[in-house]
Chains A and B, each alone.
Chain A
Amino acid sequence: MHMLSIKNLRAGIADKEILKGFNLEVKPGEVHAIMGPNGSGKSTLANVLAGRSDYSVTDGEVKFNGKDLLELSPEDRAREGLFLAFQYPVEIPGVSNINFLKTALAEIRQYRGLAPMEAKDFLKLIKEKQALVELQGTLANRSVNEGFSGGEKKRNEIFQMAVLEPTLSILDETDSGLDIDALRIVANGVNKLRSKDRSFVVITHYQRLLDYIVPDFVHVMFDGKIVKSGTKELALELEEKGYDWIRKEQGEKIEA
């Protein structure tokens, strides 16, 4: 049984089609890396799956745990267990990280018919997950992402992911703008969350991240669809040869 099944997905923004027949199947416990040059549609994929309203879907279907994902509101997708680690995490001044997470967790639990967590259990959970991404205690009390450094913001995304415990996490260029230490911390956080029930779709430009988060599959995206799939060795090949090689191959295919 697939956790996520994307079939012939076509979507875009305004009149511009960006995803042009995208297919992907993810089973529980798998980590899929999606690589590709700028403008190939990676971030569009992440945003369409999370339900950002700027994008419209024109064709295809997406099943998430057997449900029609595209029919669900963004908040219901989250409550169903889909999490997007944002490429550009958003600041919410005056709202503490803790309050934000408490609200989010209560919503998710309510959707699943659970009562809100007891305050002391919640604080325990926060403490435990904070350690996972080596976040300072005070950071949880600060306003959501406000005044955070780039690295702190990305760590905060992983921290939120750890607290909300999604079944499917999409990491949208979580490695961009991170120095090597922050990269290691973020990757460690993700690795600790890996389990047989939890899947990850890791979107990245660079092979570097995949040294730390070792994927089961690597896909290369080009012009709105996956043009090549393989194992982690494919990422190394890409690192070595660059994307021109793919471009050329695709060009030849189109000509043929």
Chain B
Amino acid sequence: MAKENQLLEEITGSEYKYGFSSDIETETAPKGLNEDTVRFISAKKNEPEWMLASRLKAFRYWLTLEEPRHWAHIQYPVIDFQDIIYYAAPKRPKELKSLDEVDPELLRTFEKLGISLEEQKRLSGVQSTIAIDAVIDSVSVKTTFKETLAEKGIIFCSFSEAVQEHPELVKQYMGSVVPYTDNYYAALNAAVFSDGSFCYIPKGVRCPMELSTYFRINTSGTGQFERTLIIADEGAYVSYLEGCTAPMRDENQLHAAVVEIIAHKNGEVKYSTVQNWYPGDKQGKGGIYNFVTKRGICLGDNSKISWTQVETGSAITWKYPSVILKGNNSVGEFYSVAVTNNYQQADTGTKMTHLGKNTRSTIVSKGISAGFSNNSYRGLVRIAKGATGARNHSQCDSLLMGDKCGAHTFPYIEIKDKSAIVEHEATTSKIGEDQIFYCNQRGIPTEKAVALIVNGYCKEVLNQLPMEFAVEAQKLLTVSLEGSVG
């Protein structure tokens, strides 16, 4: 045991690869939050009156709320909302005609992150095409392949641009799945959100490439409040990827995003995230508070929404990508791997709300805890009255590394229809010295053994990710857990 602990301590020594910060000329709002801040953000974005009105309504509502602190299995100091910068944007000319006008330091930043904003270059040499919307701090700096996509009628742009160019769509859908009244952070986001991605796939169109948004927090003292809206019209299909990183800083930075997905009749949206926000140092100092509301609605019959998430970063992860299954025969899926190491905390899971007939949902959650971390699965399966023939299968597995971490499962099930079939399976296991030694005895060194075992454990979820992402995720898992087992 002593040996195991010693090795465990050795392994928790890996460094966060994306911890650098870039010296980009930035324009920020003054610290603090009041109506003027909201007006400032809206004015910066040259928003129409209706958008400002919507923000102010949300802000006033937010003022009436209290910060939720008690129900999640996480602990953190009280957040001083007046000590956060709500808007930070790289300075740039008003109109960006080409990539040449973008601050070269900014391009270098994304290059360092392995993201190319030049369309002819492909991500890490892989020959598939991915359209990327790059968001740094509060604004989208560049969206690639916009024209190619436009030929098919697909809209993929920054949220700010959508507000200007497609106000009807934004008005129609924004807040329709996550209203500003939903929760504390959703209200905050609705008031101060700065940018994010907007995708609309028209009727019958199958999006020919993966759409992806890369979020980067750079400026010290800022919070990132992005908003993403994805709409698959009738019979449309899109696969959307989201990646995120932040510099290493001693302070805790807040990331409170809202993602809404709408799938119409026969529409399908596959949403994959690899979340790698800075998790804080080995003593638990610094790191991102990731308090996010993600929800999709299967509006039409036979529609499908699938969430896949690999959560390795953040000091605290607090999110529940959910699906409302309104259309008959609609399908909701949630595949999750959440890794916590050192002093990280994660309280994550999903909500599947079955309203339509013969709706089906699948939940596969894999938690991995190492170091002194705490990892909780929290999930709700709700079957409403009249949702005849609804089915759910949930599987929640926890893997423990060492004896100083915690794994918790909080499944909630509410069934109002007798015809429902709901299954829940849960396991907890420990990555053992035995497994490692067994691998060692076959010639496999410890680091590789841990990677092999963890990837085996997460296989069901990793299989859901698009190829390029799966490879990244596998590497990330290995790095996140480097040194955590003996």
Interface string of A41-82 (1 = CB under 8 A from B): 000000000111110000000000000000001110111000
A13 CB to nearest B CB, Å: 11
Query: What's the Cα separation between A79 and B453 when bound, in Å?
Result: 20
Q: Which of B429-448 contact A (CB under 8 A)?
A: 429, 432-435, 437-446, 448
Question: Given A92-B435, A103-B448: A108 and B443 within 8 A (CB)?
Answer: yes
Residues of B within 8 Å of A, CB-based: how many?
Answer: 26
Query: Would you list which residues of chain B between 442 and 486 have a CB under 8 Å from chain A?
Result: 442-446, 448, 452-453, 455-460, 486
Q: Looking across the interface, which residue of chain A has its beta carbon closest to that of B445?
A: A75
The one of A51, A75, A95, A107 that contacts B453, using a Cβ cutoff of 8 Å: A95
Assess the B452–A75 pair: CB atoms within 8 A.
Answer: no
- Quote the shortest CB–CB distance from B435 to chain A (angstroms): 5
Least Cβ distance of A226 to chain B in Å?
A: 24
Knowing A54-B3, A95-B452, the reply to whether A90 touches B443 (Cβ < 8 A) is no
A107:B432 contact, CB within 8 angstroms: no
- Name B459's closest neighbour in chain A (CB-CB): A94
Interface residues of B in 400-443 (CB under 8 A from A): 429, 432-435, 437-443
> A111: CB under 8 A from chain B?
yes
A90 to B431 alpha-carbon distance, docked (Å)? 11
Query: In the complex, A50→B441 CA distance in Å?
Result: 7
A75 in contact with B444 given A54-B3, A92-B456, A94-B459 (CB within 8 Å): yes
Q: Which residue of B lies closest to A52 (CB)?
A: B437
A90 and B434 within 8 A (CB): yes
Choose among A50, A75, A89, A94 the residue that contacts B455 (Cβ–Cβ < 8 A). Answer: A94
Q: In the complex, which range does the number of interface residues on chain A fall in? A: 20 to 34
Query: Which residues of A have CB within 8 Å of B440?
Result: 51, 73-75, 78
Among A99-156, those with CB < 8 Å from B are 99-101, 103-105, 107-108, 111, 143
- A85 to B453, alpha carbons, bound, how many Å? 20
- Which residues of the partner chain A approach B460 to less than 8 Å between Cβ atoms? 94
The docked-state distance in angstroms from the alpha carbon of A143 to that of B452 is 12
B453/A78 in contact, CB under 8 A: no
Which residue on B lies nearest to A90, using beta carbons? B438
Tell me the minimal C-beta distance from A217 to chain B in angstroms. 25
Give Cα A79–Cα B438 distance, bound, in whole angstroms: 13
B448 and A100 within 8 A (CB):
no
Contacts A54-B3, A90-B432, A103-B448 given; indicate if A78 touches B442 (C-beta within 8 A): yes
A84, B429: Cα distance in complex, Å:
25
> Binding site of B, secondary structure by majority: helix, strand, loop or mixed?
helix
Task: Please report the C-alpha to C-alpha distance between residue A172 and residue B108 in the assembled complex, in whole angstroms.
Answer: 57
Q: How far is the CB of A103 from chain B (nearest CB, A)?
A: 6
Chain B residue with the shortest CB-CB distance to A111: B443
Say yes or no: B448 contacts A92, CB within 8 Å: no
**Does A160 interact with chain B (Cβ within 8 Å)?**
yes
Tell me if A164 counts as interface (CB < 8 A to partner B): yes
Residues of chain A with a CB closer than 8 A to B445's CB: 73, 75, 107
A243 vs chain B, min Cβ distance (A): 29
Complex interface residues of chain A between 28 and 45 (CB less than 8 A to chain B): none
Residues from chain B with Cβ under 8 Å of A73 in the complex: 440, 445
Interface membership of A86, Cβ < 8 A: yes
Which of B435, B442, B448 interacts with A160 by CB under 8 Å?
A: B442
Q: Indicate which residue in B438, B441, B456 contacts A94 across the interface (CB closer than 8 Å).
A: B456
A-facing residues in B174-219 (Cβ within 8 Å): none
B486 CB to nearest A CB, Å: 8
Flag whether A242 is at the interface (Cβ < 8 A): no
Cα–Cα, bound, A79→B456 (Å): 23
Residues of A within 8 A of B3 (CB): 53-54
- Chain A residues lying within 8 Å of B453, measured Cβ to Cβ, are 92, 95
Contact of B456 among A86, A111, A143 (CB under 8 A): A143
Task: Give A81's nearest chain B residue, CB to CB.
Answer: B443
The answer for the CA separation of A90 and B452 in the assembled complex, in Å, is 14
Q: Nearest B residue to A14 by beta-carbon distance?
A: B2
Q: Which residue of B lies closest to A164 (CB)?
A: B442
Taken together as a complex, chains A and B put the C-alpha atoms of A154 and B459 apart, in Å, by 26
The answer to whether A177 has its CB under 8 Å from any CB of chain B is: no
Verify if A230 is at the interface (C-beta below 8 Å from B).
Answer: no
Selected contact of B458 from candidates A91, A94, A108, CB within 8 Å: A94
Give chain A residues whose Cβ lies under 8 Å from the Cβ of B435.
Answer: 90-92
Give the residues in chain A near B452, CB-CB below 8 Å. Answer: 92, 95, 99-100, 103
* 27 residue pairs bridging A and B, Cβ less than 8 Å apart: A50-B437, A51-B441, A52-B437, A75-B440, A75-B444, A78-B442, A83-B441, A84-B441, A86-B438, A86-B441, A89-B438, A90-B435, A91-B435, A92-B452, A93-B429, A93-B456, A93-B457, A94-B455, A95-B452, A95-B455, A101-B442, A104-B439, A104-B442, A104-B443, A107-B444, A107-B448, A164-B443
- 12 further A-B contacts with Cβ under 8 Å, apart from A74-B441, A78-B442, are A51-B440, A52-B437, A53-B433, A54-B3, A73-B440, A84-B441, A86-B441, A93-B429, A95-B452, A100-B439, A100-B452, A108-B443
User: Nearest 5 A-B pairs (CB), nearest first?
Assistant: A94-B456, A95-B456, A74-B440, A104-B442, A78-B443
**Could you tell me which B residues sit within 8 Å of A by CB distance?**
3, 429, 432-435, 437-446, 448, 452-453, 455-460, 486
- Give A residues with C-beta under 8 Å from B: 50-54, 73-75, 77-79, 83-84, 86, 89-95, 99-101, 103-105, 107-108, 111, 143, 160, 164
